[in-house]
Chains A and B, each alone.
Chain A
Amino acid sequence: MPEHFDAIVVGAGPSGNAAAYTMGKAGLKVLQIDRGEYPGSKNVQGAILYADALERMIPDFRETAPLERHVIEQRFWITDEKSHTGTHHRNDDFNEERPNRYTILRAQFDRWFSRQVRATGVTLITETTVTELVRNDAGKVIGVLTDREGGALYADVVVLGEGVNGLVGQRSGLRPEIRPDHVALAVKETHFLPEESIRERFNLSNENEGVVIEVLGSVSSGMIGTGFLYTNKESISIGVGCLVKDFAEKQIAPYELLDRFKSHPSVRPLLKGSEMKEYVAHLIPEGGYDAIPDLTGDGWVIVGDAGQFVNAVHREGSNLAMTSGRIAGESIARLKAEGRAFTKANLRLYRDALEDSVVIKDLRKYRKIPRLLKRNRQLFTTYPQIVNRMMQSFLRVDGQDKRAKEAEILRGVKAARGSWFGVAGDLFKVARAWR
């Protein structure tokens, strides 16, 4: 008789770790399987850690987790080829005892998180790829098959935290294939610099303060996408991500797009003299609320990126992954404690709790955004150009009187969108989708 577990968790990223941790804490017998050499070695993110989602599980995580810098300043840039116009929000309140956001390096952070998971009694198997689900005659999922010898592994319930490109759920028909217009491809490089250089270049007081820059405009070369630059302790994470469908149609090589971003006159000085030590690529779910698949079935639940839990507007994902994993873990522990079976009907508990959480609430709020962006590419092309042209004209002192300058700026805005109706329509559409 093979060993039987209460739950098997597929994947050791934020969602899988959160689920395994929660169930381990509740005293369940949990097996977690990851295909990497160690948890984190297959995982990629920008990466920002939002403290709240983790703090709800591990209140004292700051004492031991490998954190880079806490974010005290957020910059938002709108670029054209030679300029950027931006807003900054820097706030000394972010220098609090329990900071709200941190930059992290996922390969290191996930390894730490996994140690906390194992400390709860969860059994972890690494270097093992789950290949398919095992079902009983009634169709209920009762375990998994892996690429290791030794046959199937059995559990009462399987938690799929296998990520955006997870194959098990798709090939088992639990969730549909992702469409190229529901997913972005992001490429990123990690550039190393002395800690003092980062401090000086970003106007920071010490090695714990950090800056985040999110970038919209020419950085995506007309595609739906954004760029980002995050300060770590001794490195800078710089990347750009755009819809896979757009990359394919425009035939733009992702690494060339990243190179153009790195050589933008506003970015180049920040990276000067740095040494690139890793180049990575990863997919990001961008379909939003309408792309969320069925999250539960007889003997299984889906958590994290596999469930498309990414808020594209706020660039939140890992926190939603952790929250969904925690809620799944709590729901499973409760069913177990009450002696109820892991049927689709009973696992509805997870789906309902998720509906009441920030995960589904926020995704529902921005439900219309993916379609808005797809149909209004001028938000990535025309408007960034207008804004930068306007700012230059506004600031340049060249003998032209101010009234004439303003008239010229307004004419430029109108011409760029064809008419004032076009501009008003765009404003209305964005406001409506945002609401």
Chain B
Amino acid sequence: MARLSGAVRSLLASSLGLPGMQDLLSAEMPDDTFEYRYTRYDEAPLPSDKLAFGDPRRYEIGSHQFRIVRNLNETYSLELNYLHEAMSGSSPWYVVPGESGPLQVMSGATIRERRNQVDLSIARAEDEYTHRAKIGYSSENDYRARYGSYSGERESKDGLRTTSWGISYSNDEISPTDALIFGRVVHAQRESLSGSLALTRILNRNAVLQSGVTLSHHSGFLSDPYKQVWINQAVVNDSRPDKRLMFAWTTRFRQYLERSRAALVLDYRFFRDDWSITAHTLELAWRQPLGGHWEVTPSVRYYSQESPEFYAPFFFVHPADGHWSSDYRLSTFGALSFRLNAEFRQEYWSISIGSEYYKSDESLAMTGTPENTPGLVEFWRLTAGLRVKF
């Protein structure tokens, strides 16, 4: 259904006082919502044949997410999000040449950190327009981010086309732990600005296509203060350019299949930045309702990227432009992830559980010339959530 006019929404709202009408219209009028989600993220330990030295146990993260949506009236709604994350484990530090290929050096001591993030947004929906403004703050012992965004959406009168746009800004402060002991930068800043535009079109009563672009610019200290690089026997700090311009083009397609009452989801994302990283993401999902209350969604995602020029596992010669990194996340690699989510829905509440297995490997890269990258990660993620409407 197209977006309802102000007149129709006034009528709907004023009819809610009639007995029984609230139940009848509960699906049509927005609900106040409370949501809680727990996520457990577990990286597989680094295999001993890829480890030079350090602690092979990698990150474990437990996160608690809370979300509250409150409709102030028919036009305005508030949303509050809170996230608490606790992580521990050691992380890849730098890579050294070994007899049969590069070996990963892991940080010796176990890192323990906590992160808190809170954001608040207000949305205004009237006639064909929706506007949303958000401010947020994220803090951990070595990192602080302040961010804000505005996004808008306009639905065409016939309800078949939606245009959405947004801009966001983030200002981050980094003050690494043990900076003086390890010769890390003591205090640094970075800024990000991004803008996006997307068009959604209902192709027919069973198919929806969305296509959009995002452009973002980052400046300031963009290196990882906890990563180092082996350059001809010496170990120096990670050093990346202090500016980065990124472009992404995303296309999403949804096809509802009447016979099986299921939905097919197909997403593709192209990414390119001026560090010369190119990446492709392809995701395929199948949403299948079972019985009256269950919905099961298996999905598979493939990702492939090509590394920037300043990436190498290690260097024998100092790069002349002063930029180098051995961060495995910048290497040429591919990744596959398999997910299974199940949701049990009742009228006023639902619970969901999900699991994901992710494996990245240089041999999965679609293009580029992959090098042996011992730090590439493999993880399991489990989620459990509860949503209550009231």
A binds B: no
Residues of A within 8 A of B (CB): none
Residues of B within 8 A of A (CB): none
